[in-house]
Amino acid sequence: MTIRRAAVELADLLNTPDFDDVTEHHRMSHSHVVRDVAFVTDIEDISNVGPGTIVVLDESAAHGGWLLSGALRYAWERHAAALIVPDDALAISVLELAKRLDVNFLSSPRAMSRMVLDIAIGIGRLQAATESRIITLRQRIEDAPDIVTAVGLISRELGGCLVQANSSGTLIASAGKPPPASQSARVTSSPRPFESPVELVALVPNQQLEFAHNALNAAVPTARIMLLTDELEAIQKALPLLSMVTLTGLGFARSMQPDTDRFADAMHIPSHKPHVAVCLLVADSSHDVALFSSPVYHVWRRAFKGSPLSRMDGGWITFLSVDAVGTATSDAIAHTLTERVVEPLRAIGVAVGISTIGNDERIASDLAGEAWLAAKVARPNAAATFDRISQPLLSRLIPRELAQRLVGVYFPRLQADSQFNELARCAVAYLDCVGSVSATATRLGLHRNTVQARLRRITELGVNLTEPDSSLTQHLILTAATRCDGV
Partner 1 sequence: MELTLEDVENLATGALFVSCSVDHESCFNFHDRILSMLTSTDKVARLVNFEDMDPDDLVVVIGFVNKGLPLTELVPVGDEFTTGISLLEQELGTRISAVVPLAAGNVNALVPVLVGLQTGLPTIDSDPMGRVFPLLSQSTLNLAGLSPGPFAVVGATGDSGVIRVTDSLRADHIIRAMAAEFGGWVATVSYPTSAARIQDALIHGTLSQLIRIGKILNSQMSTTDKYSSLSRQFGVRRLTRACVVDVEGLSRPFPRNQPDHPTSATLVDNVQGHIVRLEIQNEILLVMIDGAVEAVVPDIVTILRTEDAGVASLEDLWIGNEVDILTMPAAALWYTPEGLRLAGPDSHRLHGARRRKR
Residue 410 is a binding residue for partner 1 (CB under 8 A) = no
Residue 69 is a binding residue for partner 1 (CB under 8 A) = yes
Stretch that binds partner 1, among 71-79, 106-114, 244-252, 459-467 (CB under 8 A): 71-79
- Cβ closest to partner 1, residue 60 vs residue 139: 60
List the one residue from 14, 33, 71, 158 that touches partner 1 (CB under 8 A).
71
List the one residue from 12, 32, 34, 74 that touches partner 1 (CB under 8 A).
74
- Cβ closest to partner 1, residue 74 vs residue 252: 74
Please write down the HEC assignment for all residues of the chain. Answer: CEEEEEEEEHHHHHCCHHHCCCEEEECCCCCCEEEEEEEECCHHHHHHCCCCEEEEECHHHCCCHHHHHHHHHHHHHCCCCEEEEEHHHCCHHHHHHHHHHCCCEEEECCCHHHHHHHHHHHHHHHHHHHHHHHHHHHHHHHHCCCHHHHHHHHHHHCCCEEEEEEECCEEEEEECECCCCEEEEEEECCCECCECCEEEEEEEEHHHHHHHHHHHHHHHHHHHHHHHHHHHHHHHHHHHHHHHHHHCCCCCCCCCCCCHHHHHHHCCCCCCCCEEEEEEEECCCCCCHHHHHHHHHHHHHHHCCCCCCEEECCEEEEEEEHHHHCCCCHHHHHHHHHHHHHCCCCCCCEEEEECCCECCHHHHHHHHHHHHHHHHHCCCCEEEEHHHCCHHHHHHHCCHHHHHHHHHHHCHHHHHCCCHHHHHHHHHHHHHCCCCHHHHHHHHCCCHHHHHHHHHHHHHCCCCCCCHHHHHHHHHHHHHHCCCCCC
Q: How far is CA 151 from CA 23, 211, 218, 344, in A?
A: 40, 16, 12, 18
Shortest Å, Cβ 106 to partner 1? 17
Stretch that binds partner 1, among 91-99, 144-152, 229-237, 278-286 (CB under 8 A): 91-99
- Cβ closest to partner 1, residue 65 vs residue 221: 65
Residue 161 is a binding residue for partner 1 (CB under 8 A) = no
Task: Say how far apart CA 360 and CA 318 lie, in whole Å.
Answer: 15
List the one residue from 25, 73, 133, 186 that touches partner 1 (CB under 8 A).
73
Stretch that binds partner 1, among 59-67, 157-165, 244-252, 354-362 (CB under 8 A): 59-67
Residue 425 and residue 444 in contact, taking contact as beta carbons nearer than 8 Å: yes
Residue 39 is a binding residue for partner 1 (CB under 8 A) = no
The sign of the dihedral angle between the CA atoms of 141, 142, 145, 146 is positive
Stretch that binds partner 1, among 40-48, 182-190, 194-202, 307-315 (CB under 8 A): 40-48
Q: Could you tell me how many residues of this chain bind partner 1 (CB under 8 A)? A: 22
Residue 273 is a binding residue for partner 1 (CB under 8 A) = no
List the one residue from 63, 114, 177, 262 that touches partner 1 (CB under 8 A).
63
Residue 72 is a binding residue for partner 1 (CB under 8 A) = yes
Task: Say how far apart CA 327 and CA 339 lie, in whole Å.
Answer: 14
- Cβ closest to partner 1, residue 56 vs residue 198: 56
- Cβ closest to partner 1, residue 91 vs residue 135: 91
Give residues with Cβ within 8 angstroms of 232, minimum separation 6: none
Residue 42 is a binding residue for partner 1 (CB under 8 A) = yes
- Cβ closest to partner 1, residue 14 vs residue 46: 46
Residue 64 is a binding residue for partner 1 (CB under 8 A) = yes
Strands 182-188 and 310-312: unpaired
- Cβ closest to partner 1, residue 93 vs residue 359: 93
- Cβ closest to partner 1, residue 101 vs residue 256: 101
Shortest Å, Cβ 344 to partner 1? 51
Site for partner 1 in 100-139 (CB under 8 A): 100-101
Residue 44 is a binding residue for partner 1 (CB under 8 A) = yes
List the one residue from 3, 28, 67, 433 that touches partner 1 (CB under 8 A).
67
Residue 25 is a binding residue for partner 1 (CB under 8 A) = no
List the one residue from 81, 97, 161, 309 that touches partner 1 (CB under 8 A).
97
List the one residue from 87, 96, 387, 401 that touches partner 1 (CB under 8 A).
96
Residue 62 is a binding residue for partner 1 (CB under 8 A) = no
List the one residue from 15, 50, 66, 239 that touches partner 1 (CB under 8 A).
66
Comparing C-alpha atoms, which of 389, 413, 398 is closest to residue 476?
398
List the one residue from 8, 14, 43, 161 that touches partner 1 (CB under 8 A).
43
Comparing C-alpha atoms, which of 171, 126, 163 is closest to residue 141?
163
Shortest Å, Cβ 1 to partner 1? 17
- Cβ closest to partner 1, residue 12 vs residue 45: 45
The amino acid occupying position 440 is: T
Residue 65 is a binding residue for partner 1 (CB under 8 A) = yes
- Cβ closest to partner 1, residue 95 vs residue 121: 95
Residue 76 is a binding residue for partner 1 (CB under 8 A) = yes
Stretch that binds partner 1, among 93-101, 164-172, 401-409, 425-433 (CB under 8 A): 93-101
Task: Say how far apart CA 262 and CA 47 lie, in whole Å.
Answer: 75
Binding site for partner 1 (CB under 8 A): 42-44, 63-67, 69-74, 76, 91-93, 96-97, 100-101
